[in-house]
Homo-oligomer: A and B are copies of this chain.
Amino acid sequence: MEQWKPIDGGINAAMGFTSAGVEARLHYRGRPDIGLALCSTRASAAAVFTQNRCASPTIACDKERLAQTGGYARAVVVNAGNANAATGERGFADAKAMCDRAAEKLGIDPAETLVASTGVIGQFLPMDKTLNGINAAVDAVKQGGNELFSSAILTTDLVEKTSAVETIIDGKRTRIGGCAKGSGMIAPNMATMLAFISTDAAAAPEFLGQALRRAAAKTFNRMSVDGDCSTNDLALVMASGMSAQIESHTDAADAFEAGLERVCRDLAIQIARDGEGATALIEVTVNGARTEEEAETAARAVAESSLVKTAVYGKDANWGRILCALGYSGAQFDPKNVSLRLGDIELVKEGQPLHYSEEKASASLSEDPVRISADLGAGGGHAVFWTCDLTHGYIDINASYRS
């Protein structure tokens, strides 16, 4: 098979998908805040949802609809600026009303219309503005769409996050694309991460769900800005079925999963890089753990350590903090076998601190990404985790009053 090649187009790259963003002034001014993505076919659909017990009613709404259809969808409507979370039954009714309005205006089955929200927790949606915005978004999509969907889903993000790739599977040009938002949770709680992925491959909902869960486990779930799992996290994939047929346990399935993981990783890294207040993207690699799970556990502990993240911000090659985080992570290893690197600089080799140039080590903290690597010397487990540094900017953003 050919390699997947990057292409333009984001969520619109795959055949069958149109999207748009419009300004509804739910919370922001002068920027789109309602997005709508539509598939011209009845798309296979699968999603992974936040594990947060106080999940937004939008999550329950989508779970219910995907269960009702057996994993098919035509459209997803998204708003930014209000998370519709901690809003109880009224919030659930509002989420359904958003789907229903989009479905009615599009002339599609309401059960095949999904919803996502991100923004303020604990406030009801201004439904007049919201439904008017959905009307406008449907009109925009009917007129061929625009490039504003990936912008309409943002909250405190500084940049849009999009990715798309294509390859030939079984002789058919096949595309996977998407966009995401997320940069932390900001006053008063912009819910962290949304990702929308589209493909023109033809795949059953069950396979699509398995592939998305596997890809998310190695990408979205190995990325952290501040460790807070939000009330609204959602990754959704829709497959229009207009190109290659993907059956489980085939070469085509392997190829498809590689492409899906690539798009998810690309989006996850963009989210980490745009973390609130971030000045550096950090890539933590752990090799030599007993298992992949323990490698992930160890990498996560390093990536989520406030001390490691502030050391990167301060350009201080302070490897004691890395060792300390590995030590409390819960991964099993013997400190005598641990090796540490920062970029290409060896700091510790098999438990022995090495002499190294502080200047070079500090310089490696200005690389993009900053690469922290540990080998635990305990087995073959490997994992990579992405995060960003912890800075004055993060405090500025998150200590500022909501208004």
Contact = CB atoms under 8 A, between A and B. Distances in A.
Contacts of A335: 53-54, 86
Nearest to A185: B307
Interface in A108-148: 120-122
Q: How large is the interface on A (under 10, 10 to 19, 20 to 34, 35 or more residues)?
A: 35 or more
Contact of A352 (B88, B353, B401): B88
A399 B362 CA distance: 12
A318 B187 contact: yes
A314 B229 CA distance: 21
Given A305-B228, A316-B402, A398-B310, A321 B53 contact: no
Instruction: Please state the number of chain copies in the assembly.
Output: 2
Interface string A80-120: 00010110100000000000000000000000000000001
B311 A398 contact: yes
Given A121-B323, A392-B392, A307 B228 contact: yes
Contacts of A52: 324, 327-328
B189 A121 contact: no
A192 to B, nearest CB: 9
B321 A189 contact: yes
Given A306-B228, A313-B395, A328-B53, A402 B187 contact: no
Interface of A: 51-55, 83, 85-86, 88, 120-122, 184-185, 187-189, 226-231, 305-307, 310-311, 313-316, 318-321, 323-329, 331-333, 335-336, 338, 348, 351-353, 390-392, 394-395, 398-402
10 contacts: A54-B326, A86-B323, A88-B351, A228-B305, A228-B306, A229-B328, A231-B324, A306-B390, A314-B401, A315-B401
